[in-house]
């Protein structure tokens, strides 16, 4: 596998950055996780727009144009002969001194890893996933806006550890008000009486690209949608539930906190949305 770093493709074992890079020292940087399907990089422009906004939010000057980054992503996929898989696009603050100030940093690093992806087992798409709510809370938006996809994912990692220690692959995270924000790595949707419901970003969730794709699929199918505050009771009594994310795509959830969701099987609206989403991903984006 070849890894792209600032214009050069390195063999995997030779792909290195400085130990003084603030991306390593302090998690000071941003990233995007992107899918490629049959040679089509899914919604690449939307990912790059979000990357630029994350950079502006943390006062990180990108020395590359959007077109240059887009071309670098395509170059990485071609170099690895990748037609379907996962792309991790990373921008670090660059090398600096042993102190928090980014003013000592220079030469941001643009890193692109284009590789195969390990998905949820197929049985979860056909039979559904069981999850729990964990004690680790989502970061308060006043502390770190959820729209910033920063390299500091420790909050989500701790929640993932909570879930795995309890024997689950995924979990819901609450915000400071006790409402549900998102999962450790995914957004989530409920279905109640035929209406699709998902929390707004103000609840502490990321406006995921896959989330947006599912919303578009719902509009195509004529399914009503509400963005509203969701608490644990709303989750427990919902008719259907599913998770969305770059790696996950759209995964049905059949149980939360030992409460069965609906009839304990992936629901009809969930399955319709999954079908439409999987059809659309292969024609929405940049071809390599």
Dump pLDDT digits (tens) for 219-229.
999 999 999 99
Q: What residues are annotated to the active site?
A: 149
The whole-number pLDDT of residue 144 equals 87
The whole-number pLDDT of residue 115 equals 96
Dump pLDDT digits (tens) for 115-138.
998 878 889 999 999 999 999 999
Q: Contact at 8 Å (CB) between 171 and 160?
A: yes
Average pLDDT over residues 79-97: 97
CB half-sphere exposure, 211, CA atoms < 13 A:
21
Average pLDDT over residues 46-55: 98
Query: In this predicted structure, which of 9-18, 67-76, 198-207, 214-223 has the lowest mean pLDDT?
Result: 198-207
Average pLDDT over residues 205-212: 94
The whole-number pLDDT of residue 203 equals 93
- The single-letter DSSP state of residue 21 is B
Those residues whose C-beta lies under 8 Å from the C-beta of residue 232, and which sit 6 or more positions away, are: 133, 172, 174, 178, 180, 257
Fold match between domain 2-115 and domain 122-283: no
The whole-number pLDDT of residue 255 equals 98
| Per-residue b or e along 66-99, where b marks 16 or more CB atoms closer than 10 Å to that residue's CB | eeebbebbbbbbeebebeeebbbbbbbbbbbeee
- Beta strands 85-92 and 109-115, pairing class: antiparallel
CATH code: domain 2-115 is: 3.30.470.10
Average pLDDT over residues 38-47: 96
Dump pLDDT digits (tens) for 163-173.
999 999 999 99
pLDDT mean across residues, the chain: 96
Instruction: Return the percentage of the chain with pLDDT > 90, whole number.
Output: 89
Query: Quick check: 142 pLDDT over 90?
Result: no
* Domain segments of the chain as ranges: 2-115, 122-283
- Single pTM value for the model: 0.94
CATH architecture of 122-283: Alpha-Beta Barrel (3.20)
């Amino acid at each position: 596998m070849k890894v792209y770093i600032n214009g050069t493709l390195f063999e995997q074992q030779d792909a290195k950055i400085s130990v003084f890079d603030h991306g390593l020292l302090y998690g000071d940087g941003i990233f995007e996780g992107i899918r490629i399907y049959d040679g089509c990089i899914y919604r690449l422009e939307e990912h790059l727009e979000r990357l630029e906004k994350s950079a502006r939010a943390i006062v990180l000057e990108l020395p590359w144009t959007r077109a240059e980054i887009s071309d670098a992503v395509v170059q990485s996929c071609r170099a690895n002969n990748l037609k379907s898989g996962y792309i991790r696009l990373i921008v670090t603050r660059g090398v600096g001194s042993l102190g928090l100030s980014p003013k000592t940093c220079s030469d941001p690093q643009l890193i692109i890893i284009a590789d195969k992806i390990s998905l949820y087992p197929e049985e979860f798409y056909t039979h559904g996933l069981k999850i729990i709510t964990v004690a680790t809370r989502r970061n308060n938006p006043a502390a770190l806006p959820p729209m910033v996809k920063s390299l500091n994912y420790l909050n989500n990692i701790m929640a993932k550890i909570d879930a795995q220690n309890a024997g689950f692959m995924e979990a819901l995270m609450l915000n400071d008000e006790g409402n549900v924000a998102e999962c450790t790595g995914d957004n989530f949707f409920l279905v109640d009486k035929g209406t699709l419901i998902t929390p707004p970003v103000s609840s502490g969730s990321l406006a995921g690209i896959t989330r947006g794709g599912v919303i578009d699929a719902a509009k195509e199918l004529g399914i009503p949608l509400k963005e509203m505050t969701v608490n644990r009771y709303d989750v427990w009594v919902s008719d259907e539930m599913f998770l969305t994310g770059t790696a996950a795509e759209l995964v049905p959830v059949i149980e939360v906190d030992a409460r069965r969701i609906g009839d304990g099987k992936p629901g009809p609206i969930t399955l319709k949305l999954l079908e439409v989403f999987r059809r659309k991903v292969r024609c929405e984006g940049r071809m390599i």
